[in-house]
Each structure stands twice: as C-alpha cells, then as structure tokens.
Structure 1
C-alpha cells in the first residue's frame, strides 16, 4: 500500500468509498442524512481539504484521509479493508508529514472514538451540533503531547 495524493477525477471513487464506509459505521444516520451529506461531498467537502488515499496495488482506493491545516477532517476506509491497518497508516502519515493533531468525531461513532484514543488522541471538548447544524454531537479530540 502506498499513500498517494487524490486528484479531482478520483472523487467519484472516493464518494463510493465514503458511502460504503458511512453505511458500515454510522448506523445513527438515517437514509435522508446520508443523502444530505453525500450531496455535499463532491461540491463542498472534498475540494475543501487536502486528500490522500491508500491504494490496493495502486489501482483501487481502499481508504482516504482529508486534512486542513492541523485538522483531520475525514478518514474513511472501505468496509472490506477495515481492520487491516490502513486507517492507522493514513493517520500516522498525516501526523508525521502534515502535523495533523486534531479531529472531530461523531459522539455516536464509538468505533472511531476508540480508534483515535488508541492512536493517542484525547477528548478536549464537545459540541451539541455537527458542522452543518444537525443534531449529531461532535467530540473534539486532540493528539496528546
């Protein structure tokens, strides 16, 4: 596996990875919620971050991470590739090469919270609403020194 930069022509494949990952891990979202966020991925969310991916034999995207400044804005792994260390690899690269040290996680996504805690992040605060003003509480986490 290699970590490679994403180009906009790969956004449709990213969207597919994003949706399959969300359906596997975000059981607190309704179908309407998924469609709402999906409608914003290509136009708003992907272009707003620096994207890197892990590719299987450099052909298929297995997972990706989106960064802005020192924030991890998104980290999604295709369900068939979960548990293989891809998320850790992407996160470690972001910390080492991009000085990533903060992440926001849905409070209901306990798997993600445990993952980030294992990777050295601690909860520093909580918001009642997500960045879109929806009632999905967010835990703000930061890498421990």
Structure 2
C-alpha cells in the first residue's frame, strides 16, 4: 500500500536510504552517504514522500521536491524486482505532470528502470560533489 510519510517512521526510511545508496553506488565512498545522512534526515519531512508499506513494514519510498524533482527512489534490497519501484513511480506520475531526476550513469539498473518508465535523457553532466557522471532525465504526461 502506498501512503504519505508518517514522520514517526523516518528512521526506517533513513535505513533504507543509507543501505540502498551504499549497495547501488559502490563507486562512491560509503563515507559520502554516511556524511549526508543527517542532512537528508532533516530535509526529508519537507519533501513529498510516498511510502510503500506492506503488513507494517516499509519496503520502499520516493521523495519529490520542488513539485517535480525526484530526489530519490529507494526499495530495500530484499524487495527489489518485485514491482514496488514501478508502483511508486506510477503514484508519482499521478501527483506530477512532469518528473525530473538525476541518476549516475554507472547505476545502469536505475537508468534502465527510468527509461522503461518513459523517462528521457536530456543532459549528461558531472555531479559537483562526487565527480561522477550523471544523466538528467525527464518524464512528461
């Protein structure tokens, strides 16, 4: 079931955020993610966050800022490839007529996932913080 973030479950959300980032971005130091943890935890409640929860367990979430920018889509490792990410994207498409995001080129699974959901690459650039190449992608209704 997809619902809005219940702030009392932010620690569960943040564990998914941290672990998924470290698993999916092994080309970036784990320290980078750990050093950004408190910042993300602080700003997350200011975002629109849709949570996929099943039987009381949060299995994934998507955060949208500035009414259209996907700041992140995360599904716990053990629940990936079960359609949860697709459900979160589809829910977000009902909320926004345009969705934008940046994704690391080296994260080919994510790039392919977004392409499958109709996102188009509009730019290739270097992330200022990590120095990794990323795509800017967009989806329009």
Structure 1: segments with no counterpart, 5+ residues: none
Q: Whole-Å Cα distance in 1 between the matches of residues 105 and 119 of structure 2?
A: 14
Q: Deviations over 1:97-128 (max 9, x none)?
A: 33342111122211100100111111001221
Cα 1:100/1:8, change in 2 over 3 Å:
farther
Structure 2 unaligned blocks of 5 or more:
none
2:13 pairs with 1:14: yes
User: What residue number does 1:25 align with?
Assistant: 24
Normalization by structure 2: what TM-score? Answer: 0.90
Alignment length, in residue pairs?
A: 140
CA contact (8 A) 2:18 2:37 kept: yes
- RMSD across aligned positions (CA): 1.6
TM-score by length of 1: 0.88
**Given the alignment, which residue of 60, 68, 72 partners 1:63?**
60
Q: Tell me how far 1:28 sits from its aligned partner.
A: 1.0
Instruction: Find out whether 1:111 has 2:106 as its counterpart.
Output: no
Separation in 2 of the partners of 1:98 and 1:61?
Answer: 23
Q: Which deviations, in whole Å up to 9, do the C-alpha atoms of 1:22-55 show, x marking residues without a partner?
A: 22211112121121222322123x1341111000
Look up the match of 2:134: 138
Secondary structure of 1:101's counterpart equals: strand
